[in-house]
Amino acid sequence: YPWFGNRGSDAGSKREIAAFFAHVTHETGSMCYIEEINKAEYCDRSRYPCAQGKRYYGRGPLQLTWNYNYQEAG
């Protein structure tokens, strides 16, 4: 990601980096968790089908939750 935090003004780059770290800090509980604490199914069948046996909970530093978010991102 060569453009991340490396384009536009210095102030804009700093805001972009700060926003990224703020989001990661929020999603991971201040860097304590890499997965959702509640690993529910998070399946809304009215918007997209859900794969049998799959759970759509957040994982990683930028957590996606719900099947429709996985669909849109994937």
Q: Which of 27, 35, 36, 41 is catalytic?
A: 27
Return the SS3 of 68: helix
What DSSP element (H or E) covers 18?
Answer: helix 10-27
27 is catalytic: yes
The single residue listed with the structure tokens 């890499």 is 34
Residues 49, 66: contact at Cβ < 8 Å? no
Give the residue numbers marked as catalytic.
Answer: 27
